[in-house]
Amino acid sequence: MPAPYAPPEQRQPFENFAPYRIHRVVNMADGDAERSFIQDIGGSGGSWRWTGKRPEVRVFLRTNQMLHYVIDFAIVEATFKDTGPVTLSFFVNGHVLDRITYKASGSQHYEKAVPEDWVEAGKDATVGAEIDKVWISPGDHAALGFILTQIGLRQE
């Protein structure tokens, strides 16, 4: 019979500990990205897509805790020379998270915490952006907004 021993030292869990973090970010390079599209995202395949005025995606979340809106996009020089500075509004479930004016073309990354009451755990959430001025293509009259690489919600 083994000798008795004391139980191991008990430790408090880390504050805000989660064994995994939820990432519901739609990457345009993903083969199934189109399944998440709601509106204004064009093209097929590749690592980026042209948007219209208000691109929007649907993501499913198991939690509403510590979520951050995330988007990687680019304002194209060819369109920017005609539109000038553009303002992008960022949305979660129809709520305006922020509005930012971009005064130069180029790649951009935006990230901001999302209020917990804007997202319901266990349900789909809509995540989008809206550009105030679209560029109209002289050839086919297509309305182009910006180049989208990824958009969604990530748990921090």
pLDDT along the chain (156 residues), means of 10: 81 59 81 93 89 96 93 97 97 98 98 97 96 94 96 93
pLDDT at 1: 80
**Contact present, 116 and 63 (Cβ < 8 Å):** no
Residue 123 in any domain: the answer is yes
Amino acid 22: pLDDT: 53
42 phi, psi to nearest 5 deg: -110, 180
The domain tally of the chain equals 1
Query: The CATH number of the domain where 95 resides is what?
Result: 2.60.120.260
User: Tokens standing for 29?
Assistant: 């390079």
Q: Is residue 4 part of a domain?
A: no
The predicted pLDDT at position 21 comes to 47
Residue range of the domain that includes 38: 27-155
In a domain, 8, yes or no: no
pTM: 0.83
